[in-house]
Amino acid sequence: MITLTLVEQPAVPLEAEVVRPDVVAGLSAEAIRALPVFLGRRQRRLDDFFRVEGDGGDEIEVRGDAGRVKWIGRGMTRGRIVVRGNAGMHLGAHMAGGAIEVLGDASDWVGAEMSGGLIRVQGSVGGQAGAAYRGSASGMRDGTILIGGSAGLEVGMRMKRGTIVVAGRVRDFAGLQMKGGTLVLGGGAELRTGAWMLRGTIISLHPIPLLPTFAYACRYVPTFVRLYARHLQALGFGLPADEADGAYRRYTGDSSVPGRGEILVWSPRGD
Amino acid sequence: MNTLRITGGTVYDPANGIDGIVRDVCIADGQIVADVEAGRTINASGLIVFPGGVDVHTHVAGGALNFARGLVPELHRAARTFQHGAMPPAGGRAGAAGSLRRAGLGGVTPTTFATGYLYAGMGWTTVNEAAVPILTAKHTHEELHDTPIVDKSCLLLMANNEIVLDLLEAGEVERAQQVVGWLMWAAKVYGIKAVNPGGVAAWKWGRNARALHEPVEGYRRLTPAQIIAGLAGIVDQLDLPHPLHLHCNNLGIPGNVATTVETMQVLEGRRAHLAHLQFHAYDGEGWDSMRSGAVAVAEAFKAHPQLTADAGAVLFGDAVTITADGPWQHLLYQLTGRKWGNLDVENETGCGIVPYVYKDRSVVNAVQWAVGLELLLLVDDPWRIFLTTDHPNGGCFWRYPEIVQLLMDVEARRAQIRKLPPAAQQRIMLGDLDREYTLSEIAIITSAGPARALGLPQKGHLGVGADADVTIYPAKPDRDGCLFSYPRYVIKGGAIVVEEGDVVAVSDGREFVVRPVYDDGIEDYIRPLFEQVYTMSFENYPVEIGRLRRPALMTLAAKRR
C-alpha cells in the first residue's frame, strides 16, 4: 500500500490524475515521488505536495484535506483508493473499475462519465455526480456512486446505466436528460427532477415537486425495487420495499421530450 | 543563396510528364531550379518524391468553423494535442532556430495552428478555404494568418447574396458583374463559391430551392439555374483563375442525381468546379431506397469536359458537417436529433452546423462511403476529379492517406465492403471496380490536378520555376499500414518543415488574393443599398489589404469583349 499525506496545501487546485492504482502499481516510492502533477500551468512533482510512504501497490491512501486535489482516481480500472479527508473535483471521473472511498466530502463531477467500479463518499458532494461532461451524449455508463450526505445540481445528468444513491437531499435538475440507470434520492430533491428524461428510474423517498410533464400512473411496489433493496442493503443503504409500510407512486415522463422514464415517490401507508 | 538538392529519389511529377523516374530535384531560394552547386543534400534513395499536396476544398478558418469548434467540446477532449514549445529534435538535428510550436488541438475541427501542422505533417502545402462570407472575411483572414506553413486561398460565398440576386432577377448581369468584382476585392478572396444557389436565400423564409427552373422563394422570376449560369458567366467574364466553385442544389438528398446532371446541362460550355460530388450522386426515392448514383453522375461529368470536381469522400467515424446550406442542415438535424447550429449572415448567406458520426452499420452511410470512392474510380481522367473529404464534412483532412490506400488497393476496398450491411452492398457498385490508382495518378488527384484547377501555375509540380513545395514519402506502407501518413520530409518554399512525420520548423504561408477588374463607380450603387439593410457601417465592411500579412496578389487584366 502507498500512503500520500498532503503536507503542502496547493494555493490553486492541483491536478493529480496520477493518483490511481493503474499508475502507481509496480512503481518504487522514488518513482512515485517524481510523478508529474499540475499546479495551474506549471508541472510539479507529486512530492512537492505529498509525503509519499510505502511502495506502489493496488491500494492508495490519501491523508489530509485533499479538497483542492482534482482528478483523484481518474480513469482507474482496478484497485482501491481511500481518501481520509475531502477530495477535490472530478474524483473517479472516467473510472472503469476498482473502488474509491472518501471519508469526508467530495466536490463536483464525482464519477463523471464512469463506466464501472464503486465510489462511496461518506460526506456530501457537489454537482454533476455521474454526469456527462459538457457536450457528451452520455454520462455514467455503469458502476455505482453512493453518497452519504447531500449533492448539488444535475446529479446523474445524461446517465445511461449504473446506480447513484444520495442519502441526503439533491438540488435542481437531478436526472436531467437521463437515458437509463437508477437514481435514488434518500432526502428528496429541489426543482425539475427528471427534466428531459428519456428512460431510467428515479426513486425518491421523500415527496418532491414534479414537472407538469410527468403523468401519474399508479401506486405500487415494483418487483425490481425489492431486488434493488436487497442489493443496496448489502451496500449499507435501506430502501423501503414492504407493502406493509407503504408503496411508490409512479409518474412517467418527461412527456416534453417525449420520454419513457419513471419517477417513483415513496408514500408511507396512510399517507 | 539557400539551396537544397534532393538526390536519388523516384520522382512523380505528372504535370511535367515525369512518372517514377530517378532524378535530382534542386531548390534555390524557395523555387525549383535546374541545378545547384552547393548546399544541403537530402539522400532520397528508395523514397518517392511528390509535389506538395494541394487541397482544393476544405473548411479550416472563419466564423462557421469557429462555431463548429464551440459546438463539439466532447470531440476536443478526445483530440490529439499539440503542446507549446520548441520543435522536437528530429533526425538528431534540433529544430531550426526561432521555430516555436504553438499549442493546439487536432481532432475533427483542429485549431488554427494545429491545422497547419497537420496539413504539413501529411505533406500538403496549399489549402483552399472554400466558404467565406464577406461579413466574416476579416475573421477568416486572421485565422488563415495563424494557420502556419501552408499557402492559402479562400472563396467568397455569392449565390445567395441579396444585392447580387436582385440584379440577376432584374436581368442586370453587367452591373452584377461589377458588384461581384467589388465584393471580391472587399473580401480579399481568390474566387467565387456558390452554395445551394437560391436555397439559402429561400431558407430565410423557411424554404429551400429544390427545382432548378422554378423561381426562388422571395423572387418573381429568378431561378437557381439562372443564378448558376449568371455567376458562371460572371466568373468567366472576370477571367478569374479558378472557375465557379459550385455546391449544387439538393445536397445529400436521395435522388439528387437528376439535379446534379441538370446542373451540368445548365453550365453547358461554361467552366465550373463541382464541389464534394459524392454528396450529389445519390439515386433512389427516399432514405429507404437510397442507392449509389455514381455511374449516372460520372457519365454526365465525363460528357462535360470543361468541368472539374472534388470527391467529398466519406470515411466512417466522427465528422462535423458545416455548410452554408442551412435548409439541408436543418433536415440533417431532424435526422440525427442531437445538436444543431444555425447562423444567419445578414443579406449574404447562412450557415448550419450538425456534428455527425458516419457508421459502417448504417446503410445510408455505407452508400455514402462507397459513392465517394466510386466517383474517384469511375472518372478515369484524374486531372478532373480531386481528393477531398469536404473537411470536416465527410471526414477529417488528416485521414486522406486512408482514402489513398483504398484507391490504390482493390482488396482493401473489398475487405471493407464485406463488413457493410448486406442491404448496402446491393446498393453500391464499388465491388465491381477493379481500378487501382497508380502513384502518378495519386500525385495528380492530390496535387497537380487541384493546382491546375485552382489556376496556380507555380503549384502542383516540380518543374523549374515552381514553388519548392516537395513531399518525400517512404516507398512502402508505413507504421499505420497506410501509404503517405508520415512523409520522411516535407519541404515548403524551399525550407524543410517536416522530418519523419514531425514538424521541425514553422514558417508563415502566403495568401493568394485576386484583384478583379471592375468599375470603381459601382461603389456608389452598393453604398446606399448597403446602408439600407446591413447592421454595420459601410466603411467597416471591406477588408483592407494591410490586414493580410503575407498576401500574394494576382491583379487581373481587363478582358476584351
How high is the ipTM of this complex?
A: 0.83
**Measured on CA atoms in the order B182, B187, B190, B191, is the torsion positive or negative?**
negative
Amino acid B557: pLDDT: 84
Grid cell of B272 as nine digits: 465550373
3-state secondary structure chain A: CEEEEECCCCCCCEECCCCCHHHHCCCCHHHHHCCEEEECCEEEEHHHCEEEECCCCCEEEEECCECCEECCCCCCCCCEEEEECCECCCCCCCCCCCEEEECCCCCCCCCCCCCCCEEEECCCCCCCCCCCCCCCCCCCCCCEEEECCCECCCCCCCCCCCEEEECCCECCCCCCCCCCCEEEECCCECCCCCCCCCCCEEEECCCCCCCCCCEEEEEECCHHHHHHHHHHHHCCCCCCCCCCCEEEEEEEECCCCCCCEEEEEEEECCC
Amino acid B85: pLDDT: 80
Amino acid present at A40:
G
B83/A contact by beta carbon, under 8 A: no
Q: Where in the sequence is the domain holding A18, given as residue range(s)?
A: 2-268
Shortest Cα distance, chain B CAs vs residue A209, angstroms: 28
Grid cell of B50 as nine digits: 511528390
Whether pLDDT at B1 is above 80 = no
DSSP of B387-447, one letter per residue?
---TTTTSS-GGGHHHHHHHHH-HHHHHHHHHTS-HHHHTT--GGG------HHHHHIIII
Percentage of residues of chain B with pLDDT beyond 70? 96
Amino acid A193: pLDDT: 98
- Please, are residues A164 and A181 in contact by the beta-carbon 8 Å criterion? yes
pLDDT band at B93; cut points 50, 70, 90: very low
Tens digits of per-residue pLDDT, B132-163? 999 999 999 999 999 999 999 999 999 999 99
pLDDT band at B90; cut points 50, 70, 90: very low
Shortest Cα distance, chain B CAs vs residue A133, angstroms: 8
Tens digits of per-residue pLDDT, B296-307? 999 999 999 999
Whether pLDDT at B97 is above 50 = no
Domain total of chain A: 1
B68/A contact by beta carbon, under 8 A: no
The residue of chain B with its CA nearest to that of A139 is B74
Amino acid B483: pLDDT: 74
Test mutation, A94, A109, A136, chain B, max B CBs within 10 A = A136
Residues of B with CB below 8 A from A134's CB? 73-74
Average pLDDT over residues B494-515: 91
Query: Is there a contact between A135 and B338 if contact means CB atoms under 8 Å apart?
Result: no
Mean pLDDT, chain B, integer: 93
The pTM score is 0.92
User: Quick one: residue A103, left, alpha or beta (phi over 0 = left, psi -120 to 50 = alpha)?
Assistant: alpha
Test mutation, B67, B74, B75, chain A, max A CBs within 10 A = B74
pLDDT band at B94; cut points 50, 70, 90: very low
Element (H, E) at B200: helix B199-203
Helices B363-378 + B410-418 axis angle, to 10: 160
* Residue bearing the bigger pLDDT, B340 or B97: B340
Amino acid A270: pLDDT: 79
Lowest mean pLDDT segment, chosen from B194-198, B395-399, B478-482: B478-482
The residue of chain B with its CA nearest to that of A257 is B337
Whether pLDDT at B84 is above 90 = no
| Eight-state DSSP code of residue B90 | B
Average pLDDT over residues B347-351: 91
Residues of B with CB below 8 A from A133's CB? 73-74, 77
3-state secondary structure B29-70: CCEEECCCCCCEEEECCCEEEEECEEEEEECCCCHHHHHHHH
C-alpha A259/C-alpha A199 separation (Å) is: 6
pLDDT band at A103; cut points 50, 70, 90: very high
B214/A contact by beta carbon, under 8 A: no
Residues of B with CB below 8 A from A17's CB? none
Query: Is there a contact between B338 and A134 if contact means CB atoms under 8 Å apart?
Result: no
Of B71, B74, B338, nearest to A133 by CB-CB distance is: B74
Centroid of chain to Cα B67: 19
**Beta-carbon pairs below 8 A across chains A and B:** 13
Whether pLDDT at B394 is above 60 = yes
Amino acid B202: pLDDT: 94
Tens digits of per-residue pLDDT, A105-115? 999 999 999 99
Element (H, E) at B229: helix B224-238
Tens digits of per-residue pLDDT, B256-276? 999 999 999 999 889 999 999
Amino acid B478: pLDDT: 65
Residue at grid coordinates 439559402: B200
Average pLDDT over residues A150-179: 98
Nearest to A46 by CA among A58, A60, A155: A60
Residues of A with CB below 8 A from B73's CB? 133-135
B74/A contact by beta carbon, under 8 A: yes
Residues of B with CB below 8 A from A137's CB? 74, 338
Average pLDDT over residues A37-53: 96
The residue of chain A with its CA nearest to that of B83 is A41
Tens digits of per-residue pLDDT, B530-545? 999 899 999 999 999 9
pLDDT band at B337; cut points 50, 70, 90: confident
**Cα radius of gyration rounded to whole Å, chain B:** 23
Mean pLDDT, chain A, integer: 96
Nearest to B119 by CA among B61, B71, B42: B61
Shortest Cα distance, chain B CAs vs residue A136, angstroms: 5
Query: Is there a contact between B73 and A137 if contact means CB atoms under 8 Å apart?
Result: no
Instruction: Please give the backbone phi and psi of residue B386, each rounded to the nearest 5 degrees, phi first.
Output: -120, 160
CATH label of the domain that carries residue A199: 2.160.20
C-alpha B194/C-alpha B245 separation (Å) is: 6
The residue of chain A with its CA nearest to that of B70 is A135
The residue of chain A with its CA nearest to that of B69 is A135
Shortest Cα distance, chain A CAs vs residue B72, angstroms: 6
User: Which residues of chain A are at the B interface, by a Cβ-Cβ cutoff of 8 Å?
Assistant: 133-137
Average pLDDT over residues B71-91: 82
C-alpha B302/C-alpha B380 separation (Å) is: 9
Grid cell of B258 as nine digits: 437528376
Average pLDDT over residues A92-108: 98
Residues of B with CB below 8 A from A135's CB? 71-75
Whether pLDDT at B341 is above 60 = yes
Q: What is the β-pairing status of strands A42-45 and A59-63? A: unpaired
Residues of B with CB below 8 A from A136's CB? 74
Shortest Cα distance, chain A CAs vs residue B179, angstroms: 42
B561/A contact by beta carbon, under 8 A: no
Query: Is there a contact between A135 and B74 if contact means CB atoms under 8 Å apart?
Result: yes
Query: Is there a contact between A137 and B338 if contact means CB atoms under 8 Å apart?
Result: yes
Query: Is there a contact between A135 and B72 if contact means CB atoms under 8 Å apart?
Result: yes
Average pLDDT over residues B71-85: 91
Shortest Cα distance, chain B CAs vs residue A134, angstroms: 7
Percentage of residues of chain B with pLDDT beyond 90? 87
Q: What domains can you pick out in chain B, each with its CATH number?
A: 50-511 (3.20.20)
Whether pLDDT at B182 is above 60 = yes
B337/A contact by beta carbon, under 8 A: no
Shortest Cα distance, chain A CAs vs residue B117, angstroms: 23
Query: Is there a contact between A133 and B338 if contact means CB atoms under 8 Å apart?
Result: no
Amino acid B559: pLDDT: 65
Tens digits of per-residue pLDDT, B310-336? 999 999 999 999 998 999 999 999 998
Shortest Cα distance, chain A CAs vs residue B76, angstroms: 10
pLDDT band at B95; cut points 50, 70, 90: very low
Shortest Cα distance, chain A CAs vs residue B356, angstroms: 12
Centroid of chain to Cα B320: 15
Whether pLDDT at B22 is above 60 = yes
Residues of A with CB below 8 A from B75's CB? 135
